[in-house]
């Protein structure tokens, strides 16, 4: 995991997505796919957002804005009604699940319900990247899903990593990975601060690679370079910290 420090004074008034829209145009070989296909609409085809580095990379950008803070309570309320669970006062989900024979499965189901938007984004981005490769005849390009967590604070990096692992491990009837078009995900979050200092917040950046591993090295190399450029763009230091992901998808 990488982190970048506080935003510069010049960029602090804009949102994460607004700043990234400016930043991405500085990447080597940037091309806007919407502009390239301005007067074209290939039938039945979806499109990603950007091509960079002489079309070596296809990038689809998704922005997380809606915070699913109420979903865990809704999950517990439905569970309680279905199983006749009665609680008094403030009780944690761990306490409720602990009394159930399938506690681990309930915890997993709740997290996946909380992160449903991540699975939706992975599914949509898979078709967008696959179709973009076909439109431009670039079958060997590396596909990257770029997640910008602007304000979904409840979706912490570890939780998103768990959701990504679950989505990318899904299989089609043939046994192949269901979402194989994107080779990795880069998460930039400004909804979560690692250091609780309002004067200098530190924001996490996380790289996730597809279990197929076909272009994992390419994803990591690109992410490393982009992170350095992003930190410089924000006039903030780039700090390397150990990855601490406690949740693992099963």
Statement to judge: residues 98 and 136 lie in one domain: no
pLDDT of residue 246: 38
Please give the tally of structural domains in the chain: 2
With a CB cutoff of 8 Å and minimum separation 6, the contacts of 55 are 29, 31, 136, 138, 141
Of 108, 137, 165, the residue that ends a domain is 108
Statement to judge: residues 135 and 83 lie in one domain: no
Give the separation between CA 187 and CA 246, rounded to whole angstroms: 17
Beta bridge pairs of residue 185? 145, 208
Whether 48 is covered by a domain: the verdict is yes
With a CB cutoff of 8 Å and minimum separation 6, the contacts of 231 are 4, 5, 237, 238
DSSP-derived secondary structure for 65-100: ----TTHHHHHHHHHHHHHT----SS--HHHHHHTS
pLDDT of residue 1: 54
Whether 245 is covered by a domain: the verdict is no
Statement to judge: residues 183 and 126 lie in one domain: yes
126: left (phi over 0), alpha (psi -120 to 50) or beta: alpha
Residues in the chain predicted with pLDDT less than 50, given as ranges, are: 6, 8-11, 244-250
Whether 78 is covered by a domain: the verdict is yes
Q: SS3 for 222?
A: helix
Give the separation between CA 16 and CA 1, rounded to whole angstroms: 19
Statement to judge: residues 191 and 76 lie in one domain: no
Six-digit token string for 201: 């917040």
Whether 248 is covered by a domain: the verdict is no
Statement to judge: residues 7 and 100 lie in one domain: no
Statement to judge: residues 130 and 61 lie in one domain: yes
pLDDT of residue 203: 87
Statement to judge: residues 221 and 148 lie in one domain: yes
Statement to judge: residues 92 and 30 lie in one domain: no
Contact 180, 126 (CB under 8 A): yes
Place of tokens 């597809």: 210
Q: Are strands 142-149 and 184-189 parallel, antiparallel or unpaired?
A: parallel
Give the separation between CA 77 and CA 41, rounded to whole angstroms: 45
Statement to judge: residues 38 and 51 lie in one domain: yes
Statement to judge: residues 104 and 225 lie in one domain: no
In angstroms, how far is the first alpha carbon of the chain from the final one? Answer: 22
Domain range for 92 is 71-108
Give the separation between CA 232 and CA 191, rounded to whole angstroms: 20
pLDDT of residue 249: 36
C-alpha to C-alpha distances, 31 to 35, 48, 121, 187, nearest whole angstrom: 8, 11, 22, 21
> What DSSP designation does 41 have?
-
Statement to judge: residues 57 and 98 lie in one domain: no
């Amino acid at each position: 995991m990488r982190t970048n420090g506080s935003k510069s004074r010049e960029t602090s008034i804009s949102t994460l997505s607004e700043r990234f829209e400016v930043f991405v145009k500085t990447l080597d070989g940037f091309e806007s796919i919407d502009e390239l296909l301005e007067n074209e609409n290939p039938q039945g085809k979806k499109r990603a957002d950007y091509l960079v580095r002489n079309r070596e990379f296809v990038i689809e950008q998704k922005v997380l804005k809606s915070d699913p803070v109420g979903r865990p309570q809704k999950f517990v309320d439905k569970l309680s009604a279905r199983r006749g669970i009665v609680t008094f006062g403030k009780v944690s989900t761990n306490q409720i699940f602990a009394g159930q024979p399938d506690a681990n499965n309930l915890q997993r189901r709740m997290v996946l319900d909380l992160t449903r938007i991540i699975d939706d984004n992975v599914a949509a981005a898979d078709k967008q990247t696959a179709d973009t490769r076909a439109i431009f005849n670039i079958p060997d390009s590396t596909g990257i899903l770029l997640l910008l967590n602007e304000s979904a604070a409840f979706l912490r990096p570890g939780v998103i990593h768990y959701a990504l692992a679950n989505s990318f491990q899904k299989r089609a009837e043939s046994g192949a990975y269901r979402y194989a078009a994107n080779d990795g995900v880069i998460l930039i979050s400004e909804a979560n601060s690692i250091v609780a200092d309002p004067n200098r917040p530190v924001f996490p950046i996380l790289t996730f690679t597809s279990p197929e591993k076909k272009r994992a090295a390419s994803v990591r190399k690109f992410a490393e370079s982009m992170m350095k450029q992003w930190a410089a763009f924000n006039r903030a230091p780039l700090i390397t910290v150990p990855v601490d992901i406690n949740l693992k998808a099963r």
